[in-house]
Amino acid sequence: MADSSFDIVSRVDKQEADNALNQAAKEIQQRYDFKGTGAEIDWSGETVVIKANSEERVRAILDVFQSKLVKRGISLKSLDAGEPVASGKEYKLTCKLKNGISSEHAKEVAKIIREEGPKTVKAQIQGEELRVTSKSRDDLQDTIALLKGKDLPVDLQFENYR
């Protein structure tokens, strides 16, 4: 019998992130505390740029954006927000959405699987994802449950379960 496997990945659905950004922009336009402050949130390539006339307002816009991401099912572990930077009369904050599992995090996940997971399970790093294989599908499901129970610094999705 062939080995069963699944892939561990960390991806952000670009369309859902765009929808969250558009909802946040709409809320910012309608809220009275942002009227006339030059508050805006927009894409700049692959990063999100937040602008406002004070540091507190920039943080408030980030909070609105984070709440919209959570409502859309995107983990805040995927959002890498910087610190507000003064740029003339306005403050800017840039946020990146993280895709892929870094090599350090991949090694950490592989170590957890090796030490705490079922003994028949093997994990191998393939670029920005991990392939987990085993002869037993039950062991693979136990591995998924183990990883879901851990508080890892990266958001994980499990796909291609075969």
Q: What global pTM score does this model have?
A: 0.84
Residue 1 has pLDDT above 60, yes or no: no
Segment 1-16 shows an average pLDDT of 86
Q: Each residue of 20-56: pLDDT tens digit?
A: 999 999 999 998 888 888 889 999 888 999 999 988 9
Cα 68 from Cα 90, distance rounded (Å): 24
Cα 65 from Cα 117, distance rounded (Å): 36
Q: Each residue of 86-115: pLDDT tens digit?
A: 888 899 999 999 888 888 999 999 999 999
Compute CA distances 19 → 11, 65, 137, whole Å: 16, 10, 36
Sketch out the chain's domains with CATH numbers.
4-10+101-159 (3.30.70.860), 14-97 (3.30.70.990)
Residue 60 has pLDDT above 90, yes or no: yes
